[in-house]
Amino acid sequence: MRIPRQAARVAVLDPAGSVFMFRYDNEEVGVHWAMPGGGLDPGESPLQAAERELREETGWTDIEVDGTVLCLWEHDFTRAGVPVRQHEQIFLARGPRRDPVGDLAASHAADKILRWRWWSPEDLAGDSEPLWPPQLPALLADVWKDGAPATPIDLGYVRNGAVSES
């Protein structure tokens, strides 16, 4: 039995269209790349959680998350020894290309963040490391080509190990 968990992430795009991502190591799904984000605190909206998590994980306090939702999706993983089914919203934001700031080592260690990087559209489409969600290259290709979607794209449940169709 998996515990339901609500979460939010932020796809921060730099002026050239690169997206900021963290490399995580999870006991169930292994090493993968995902955008900054995490679970909602009690009484918190998905947008509030996305903004908080972005600040906590990057140290950036000046990125405005305007509420545009790129996509919704569900996936399974184990968090702190507990199997969860995470219902996630991914928001879009724009910001300068830069490094995270501040002393983030303890929070990154607790979240099993191994490292970070900016991914260009070409890098994202050509890489073979697991991405959360796996459809991210195609989702962002549409944003780069057509702009943000008018309504969020609902990916539904995505099983672990799903292969990107980019």
**Could you give the 3-state DSSP secondary structure of residue 145?**
helix
pLDDT digits (tens, 9 = 90+) for 130-151: 999 999 999 999 998 899 999 9
For every residue of the chain, which 3-state class applies, written as one string? CCEEEEEEEEEEECCCCCEEEEEEEECCCEEEEECCEEECCCCCCHHHHHHHHHHHHHCCCCCCEEEEEEEEEEEEEEECCEEEEEEEEEEEEECCCCCCCCCCHHHHHHCCEEEEEEECHHHHHHCCCCECCCCHHHHHHHHHHHCCCCCCEEEEECCCCCCCCC
d(CA 68, CA 51): 12
Q: Which CATH number does the domain housing residue 141 bear?
A: 3.90.79.10
Tokens of 107: 């929070």
**Within a domain: residue 85?**
yes
- Answer yes or no: is pLDDT of 104 > 70: yes
- Answer yes or no: is pLDDT of 165 > 50: no
**What is the number of domains present in the chain?**
1
Range name among 16-20, 21-25, 123-127, 142-146 with the lowest pLDDT average: 123-127
**Within a domain: residue 165?**
no
Residue that wins the pLDDT comparison between 164 and 65: 65
Average pLDDT over the chain reads 93
**Within a domain: residue 133?**
yes
**Within a domain: residue 163?**
no
Instruction: Give the pLDDT band (50/70/90) at residue 15.
Output: very high
**Within a domain: residue 38?**
yes
**Within a domain: residue 137?**
yes
**Within a domain: residue 164?**
no
Average pLDDT over residues 107-127: 91
Show the domain range for 108.
3-157
Instruction: Give the pLDDT band (50/70/90) at residue 162.
Output: low
pLDDT digits (tens, 9 = 90+) for 42-59: 999 999 999 999 999 999
**Within a domain: residue 67?**
yes
Alpha carbon 37 to chain centroid distance?
6
